[in-house]
């Protein structure tokens, strides 16, 4: 009896430990994010401006390998999904004299290459590259802008696997190489603008300005192996401003129509076709607001911030939501100076008429930044905006047959 009981107890303990170990492993995997490449297939990747993986990328020996057939203007791959804030880690092995890179916040649209928009974590054979290298060209650097800390860099011999990690959080970027932090910098700051303007990227007007984009891997004519590519999404959307059921938390101003349909917020001109507003009950100062909108008929609307309403008389600042070619993403001051920033001609094609558009608005102190479909449309600093306070409000413009759908409204106070 004693031996049998001991044997059963041992089995029970073993089972409990196994379950505990399994649960811990699952938790660790969840905490560490998801695999973008786990050694088996590359189904989360495709070619830049392509629907499929280029022939110069193959899966070999549990690695995603670039065969070195690409060049300066082609052969790179990007993730199918886009990422804003994230923690990316991977292992890589470069061939003798090789050159490659890891990109993030890559935009496609009409851009010719991944490096036209995406900052690059440089990968290269520091020792055996056939030409003399500057520090900004070496491994771990933010290519052509910031050098990696040479005192902390430790590289495996060519052909051996190194570990790299990139963390992006609220515009702050950190590079690690083989477990050592080798570089930190901030996107979108005055310093960032200055260093870009004094670099080879000065002729790339959208370089490093995307808020969200693809992860990219480069084929620069060298054989490079990548494995254990893992990413953790760090994006914090904040709290929802629209619950998808009713207008709780909002107040209607005017006689125009505001209603919920299929989990979406609809604004529509009423019989009066006058100005109408839907304003938050709460006041917001510094924040990041995310939302999606689709213009079903006339799209003349806007997102007001730090604004004050008296009926349908509004004073404050508006991020324009308008028909194609009419400055969506620009800033208009109501009850004051009028247009503070209008959209240049080359960005008037960013709006997607009749389709869902993503908009992110960051208001902090005197600065307002607006991204439309991940493209930076406005970066404005203004003293009067800094002094303002008030609600967030959506607009129906007067004299039009406006109908717009809104969804996924999230705000994070900062």
- What does the pLDDT read at residue 20? 41
Residues 241-263 pLDDT 10s: 999 999 999 999 999 999 999 99
- Write down the pLDDT at residue 23: 43
| Cα separation, 337 vs 380, whole angstroms | 14
Query: 353 has which bridge partners?
Result: none
Question: Model's pTM, two decimal places?
Answer: 0.90
pLDDT, average across residues 271-278: 96
140, exposed or middle or buried, with CB in 10 Å at 0-12, 13-18, 19+?
Answer: buried
What confidence score (pLDDT) does residue 93 get?
A: 98
DSSP secondary structure letter of residue 4: H
CATH of domain 34-233: 2.60.120.560
| pLDDT digit string, tens, across residues 151-178 | 999 999 999 999 999 999 999 999 999 9
Q: Is the pLDDT of residue 4 over 80?
A: no
pLDDT of residue 400: 84
Q: Could you tell me where the DSSP H helices lie in 65-208?
A: 190-197
What whole-number distance in Å separates Cα of residue 384 and Cα of residue 366?
A: 8
**Percentage above 70 pLDDT, the chain:** 93
Percent of the chain surpassing pLDDT 90: 89
Q: Where are the beta strands (DSSP E) in 10-108?
A: 34-37, 45-47, 57-60, 63-66, 77-79, 86-94, 99-106
Q: State residue 137 phi and psi, 5-degree precision.
A: -100, -5
How confident is the model over 50-66, as pLDDT tens digits?
Answer: 999 999 999 999 999 99
User: CA 287, CA 237: separation in Å to the nearest integer?
Assistant: 11
The DSSP element (H or E) to which 138 belongs, if any, is: none
Work out whether strand 120-124 and strand 99-106 pair parallel, antiparallel, or are unpaired.
antiparallel
Query: Which class does domain 239-413 fall in?
Result: mainly beta
User: Length of the chain in residues, anyone?
Assistant: 414
Query: Rounded to an integer, what distance in angstroms lies between the CA atom of residue 117 and that of residue 110?
Result: 11
The rounded distance, in Å, linking the Cα atoms of 244 and 408 is 9
Strand partners, 92: 162, 226
pLDDT digits (tens, 9 = 90+) for 348-364: 999 999 999 999 999 99
The answer to whether domain 34-233 and domain 239-413 are alike in fold is: yes
pLDDT at 31: 65
Q: Answer yes or no: are the C-beta atoms of 48 and 108 closer than 8 Å.
A: yes
Closest CA to 102 of 207, 234, 226, 232: 226
Q: Give the chain's mean pLDDT.
A: 92
Domain boundaries, the chain: 34-233, 239-413
pLDDT of res. 115: 97
């Amino acid at each position: 009896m004693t031996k049998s009981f001991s044997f059963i107890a041992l089995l029970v303990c073993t089972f409990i430990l196994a379950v505990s170990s399994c649960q811990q492993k699952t938790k660790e995997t969840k905490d560490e994010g998801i695999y973008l490449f786990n050694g088996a297939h590359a189904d989360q990747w495709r070619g830049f401006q392509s629907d499929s993986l280029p022939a110069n990328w193959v899966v070999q020996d549990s690695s995603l390998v670039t065969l070195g057939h690409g060049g300066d203007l082609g052969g790179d791959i990007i993730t199918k999904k886009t990422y804003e804030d994230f923690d990316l880690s991977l292992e890589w092995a470069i061939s003798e004299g090789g050159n490659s890179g890891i990109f993030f916040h890559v935009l496609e649209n009409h851009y010719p290459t991944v490096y036209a928009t995406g900052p690059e974590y440089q990968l290269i054979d520091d020792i055996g590259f056939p030409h003399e290298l500057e520090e900004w060209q070496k491994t771990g650097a933010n290519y052509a802008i910031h050098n990696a800390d040479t005192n902390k860099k430790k590289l495996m011999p060519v052909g051996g696997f190194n570990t790299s990690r990139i963390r992006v959080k609220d515009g702050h970027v950190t590079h690690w190489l083989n477990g050592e932090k080798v570089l930190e910098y901030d996107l979108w700051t005055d310093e960032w603008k200055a260093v870009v303007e004094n670099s080879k990227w000065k002729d790339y007007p959208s370089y490093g300005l995307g808020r969200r984009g693809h992860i990219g891997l480069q084929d620069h004519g060298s054989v490079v192996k990548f494995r254990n590519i893992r990413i953790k999404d760090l994006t914090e959307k904040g709290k929802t401003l629209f619950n998808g059921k009713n207008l709780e938390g909002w107040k209607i101003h005017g006689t125009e129509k505001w209603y919920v349909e299929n989990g979406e917020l609809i604004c529509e001109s009423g019989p009066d076709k006058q100005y109408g507003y839907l304003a938050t009950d709460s006041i917001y100062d510094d924040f990041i607001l995310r939302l999606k909108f689709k213009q079903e008929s006339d799209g003349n609307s806007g997102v007001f911030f730090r604004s004050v309403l008296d009926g349908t008389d509004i004073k404050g600042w508006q991020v324009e939501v308008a028909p194609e070619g009419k400055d969506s993403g620009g800033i208009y001051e109501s009850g004051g100076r009028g247009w503070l920033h209008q959209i240049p001609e080359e960005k008037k094609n960013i709006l997607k008429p009749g389709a869902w558009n993503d908009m992110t608005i960051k208001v902090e102190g005197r600065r307002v930044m607006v991204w439309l479909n991940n493209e930076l449309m406005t970066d404005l600093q203004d003293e009067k905006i800094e002094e303002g306070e008030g609600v967030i409000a959506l607009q129906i413009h007067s004299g039009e047959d406006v109908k717009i759908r809104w969804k996924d409204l999230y705000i994070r106070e900062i």
